[in-house]
């Protein structure tokens, strides 16, 4: 008999929370400690997932887990995790190791109405790509972490009206995330882009020359 491994912290995911006519499947990596304790998807009170979903669908935030399930069914959204189990200390995605995947492919066969798969973070996205092939018949909402901040800001606003975002954006990466958010359903009226000395995009629009700074070589490259 080998030595016991007291440092192993293996966590397990929940069964899929899914309904017959589901169209959107949101995949996480693995439930956090608080979610496992409560036996609820996104159970930690500081988790923003439910607020973001309500911001996208323009509905009131459900107050209990039963209401959250009704909300998912009404909006044809399903929840699951890429990992069936994994070793992890704490709740950080960066601590996930030796993961075993759920049978997502079989779920897609059993629920052919699913036409969109979204990932709740970079870890779930990278794990999916590790274990599964992207299905050409399904749209994938790949991660852009900056879109979270737009939905998070809107989820905290009241009343829920179309908004104007003023965005500090040097190379327009932040602004691009805002445009993605608008296409995802966020009711944005318009954006105001603000730049300082980091004015790569405005300079390109004026001159037609795009300048990239190569940090490794400490030099500029004109494109």
Mapping DSSP onto H, E and C, the string for 145-196 reads CCHHHHHHHHHCCCCCCCEEEEEECCCCHHHHHHHHHHHCCCCEEEEEEECC
Q: Domain span at residue 198?
A: 162-222
Helix axis angle for 65-74 and 49-57, nearest 10°, is 40
- List of the chain residues with pLDDT < 50: 1-7
* Domain edge (last residue) among 78, 110, 141: 141
What is the predicted pLDDT for the residue at 8?
Answer: 53
The per-residue pLDDT for 137 is: 76
Q: Find the catalytic residue in 7, 47, 58, 95.
A: 47
How many domains does the chain contain in total? Answer: 2
Q: What is the pLDDT of residues 42-83, one digit of tens each?
A: 999 888 888 888 877 778 888 899 999 999 999 999 999 999
Q: Is 47 a catalytic residue?
A: yes
What is the structure's pLDDT at 143? Answer: 54
Which residues in 45-129 belong to E strands, given as ranges?
A: 77-81, 83-87, 97-101, 116-119
Judgement on whether residues 30 and 122 belong to the same structural domain of the protein = yes
Domain end among 106, 141, 176: 141
Regarding whether 179 and 131 lie in a shared domain, the answer is: no
pLDDT value at position 7?
46
Is residue 189 a part of any domain in this protein? yes
Per-residue pLDDT, 174 = 80
């Amino acid at each position: 008999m080998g030595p016991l491994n007291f440092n192993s912290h293996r966590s397990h995911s929940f069964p899929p929370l899914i309904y017959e006519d589901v169209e959107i499947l949101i995949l996480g990596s693995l439930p956090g400690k608080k979610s496992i304790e409560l036996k609820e998807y996104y159970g930690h009170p500081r988790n923003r997932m439910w607020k973001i979903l309500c911001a996208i669908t323009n509905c009131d935030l459900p107050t209990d887990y039963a209401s959250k399930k009704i909300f998912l069914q009404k909006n044809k959204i399903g929840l699951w995790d890429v990992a069936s189990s994994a070793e992890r200390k704490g709740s950080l995605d960066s601590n996930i190791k030796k993961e075993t995947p759920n049978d997502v492919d079989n779920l897609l066969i059993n629920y052919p109405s699913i036409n969109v798969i979204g990932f709740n973070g970079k870890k779930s996205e990278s794990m999916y790509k590790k274990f599964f092939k992207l299905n050409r018949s399904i749209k994938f909402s790949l991660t852009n972490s900056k879109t979270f901040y737009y939905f998070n800001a809107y989820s905290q606003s009241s009343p829920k009206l179309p908004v104007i975002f003023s965005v500090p954006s040097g190379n327009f990466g932040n602004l691009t995330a805002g445009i993605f958010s608008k296409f995802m359903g966020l009711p944005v009226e318009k954006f105001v882009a603000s730049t300082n000395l980091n004015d790569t995009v405005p300079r390109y629009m004026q001159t037609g020359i795009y300048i990239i700074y190569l940090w490794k070589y400490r030099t500029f490259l004109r494109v």
